[in-house]
Structure 1
């Protein structure tokens, strides 16, 4: 039996993995959030992984408050850099495997073609910078590891754009949403399936790079994303398109962050769902479970 640790277990991705893990017989999963396992404490991580004989880690933990990170770089660094280093060092001592989640924010958004794994890295802010530093630690390690960059994650769990739009759509007649930031929404459940497939894989990955890209298929803007949320939720709220300069944020966002997923599709025979299909599925689940 393999013992697999999932960090950040109370977040969107961790919660989806927890639900889907019931389908994986022969694997023993340990789900921990920051209260149960502080990944920034090296000694604690070592003790936890050794005591529980962990030989696989899916690292969903991360400091993901993009704007807050601009004023709280120290804590962003602790989690996204040093926390990753602690997990790498601990799993190395047991000869284990790591799946590490990263972000499209490592790119500056100046491309007009979907980003490939080897494309130039140029984070625009603290969040993207710390996530890239975490990537480099995993890349330079000798452990068996894969880094999955993803984008615009949402779920029936936690706080996210979809649930916020659904809530505001019931309260307001209209909302302003930026139309000049282009990317692809990712249903955390689809990403969770990929993470579980890769961590339970019984063969080693024969590839020079440890990095893969994954999001749902298709391209959209936040404006069109919001329009689709209202459509599938049957809400009459009107979505008005605005430019990014009209919606001030502490952190600068990449204007284009579509990810090229050809490598992960080829290497693992993964079929990637279209973003609108996955969004419809998620909204149906939210409505059924009344988790808003």
Structure 2
């Protein structure tokens, strides 16, 4: 199966390149998500066996002032991809986010829970989900949360840098979610893409996030512990760390439907150790 991947240098796309080097990867130099029609044309040109959209506008705070652009990248471009895939009978796997929910309560959000994004980024991602569904082709929308890896910018790498520089850090403790290794998302995307080729009836919306659910502060403590850093983590509320975009307090995702693809929630504690080993090898 030939797989066409939108994205090349992001966290998930980097892991996809490792797992499926034979796939065709379209970075920003080849696929401009600000030009949805061009993205659709690339699918028609390559006519792959499956498409994975691992590219997105991920600058959550910047989206608050540039929502129109974020909506083209996260909303209109996936819609154009999905319509091209539907025309050619090609399955599409599209990565989305916990930010489509309002973060209320403490129960994990099921895939069919009503959406109510808190900000521009969440609205742009929700627009993409809606457009992918409306195209009518075989698809899976795979929502995830708190992605980390040895690549790019992410919370784990930020904590490592600050933990080496400082004796103490204050980290938000009232936001709870599942840190998710990028490699697990990439593995899920590939398995789902293959499954959709065999059984388009598995189309729908699914969740994948790391287990167990945890606060950002406790996630930071585990990073420090595994890295052998003595930096002390102090809990603070979200109100003490204001950002332009509101973050969900509850990012827990119900992931049991992953069993349809013989997948389980990844263990983020184990994944931290793997990422730290990889970062150590890079130094």
The TM-score normalised by the length of structure 1 is 0.93
Match of residue 204 from structure 1: 199
In the aligned structure 1, how far is the partner of 2:279 from the partner of 2:6? 24
In the aligned structure 2, how far is the partner of 1:52 from the partner of 1:212? 27
Please tell me whether residue 285 in structure 1 is matched to residue 278 in structure 2. yes
In the aligned structure 2, how far is the partner of 1:45 from the partner of 1:121? 27
Equivalent residues, number: 282
CA RMSD of superposed structures (Å):
1.4
In the aligned structure 1, how far is the partner of 2:225 from the partner of 2:85? 45
Match of residue 244 from structure 1: 238
Match of residue 116 from structure 1: 110
Judged with a 3 Å threshold, the aligned counterparts in structure 2 of structure 1 residues 86 and 177 are, in CA distance, closer, same or farther, namely same
Q: CA deviation at 1:111?
A: 2.2
Match of residue 13 from structure 2: 14
Match of residue 4 from structure 1: 3
* Secondary structure of the corresponding residue to residue 2 of structure 2: strand
Q: How does 1:1-292 map to 2 (within 5 A)?
A: 2-22=1-21, 28-201=22-195, 202-207=197-202, 210-265=204-259, 267-290=260-283
Which stretch shifts more, 50-59 or 167-176?
Answer: 50-59
Q: CA deviation at 1:200?
A: 2.0
Moved over 6 A (4+): none
Q: Is the 8 A contact 1:116 1:260 kept in 2?
A: yes
User: 1:160-197 deviations in whole A, cap 9, x for unaligned?
Assistant: 00011101111111111011111110000011111111
In the aligned structure 1, how far is the partner of 2:200 from the partner of 2:268? 27
Judged with a 3 Å threshold, the aligned counterparts in structure 2 of structure 1 residues 45 and 273 are, in CA distance, closer, same or farther, namely closer
Match of residue 25 from structure 1: none
In the aligned structure 1, how far is the partner of 2:59 from the partner of 2:99? 12
The TM-score normalised by the length of structure 2 is 0.95
* Secondary structure of the corresponding residue to residue 223 of structure 1: helix
In the aligned structure 2, how far is the partner of 1:106 from the partner of 1:42? 21
User: 1:241-283 deviations in whole A, cap 9, x for unaligned?
Assistant: 1111010100111101110111112x11213332211222222
* Secondary structure of the corresponding residue to residue 57 of structure 1: strand
In the aligned structure 2, how far is the partner of 1:216 from the partner of 1:10? 22
In the aligned structure 2, how far is the partner of 1:88 from the partner of 1:231? 43
In the aligned structure 1, how far is the partner of 2:218 from the partner of 2:146? 13
* Secondary structure of the corresponding residue to residue 200 of structure 1: helix
* Secondary structure of the corresponding residue to residue 235 of structure 1: coil
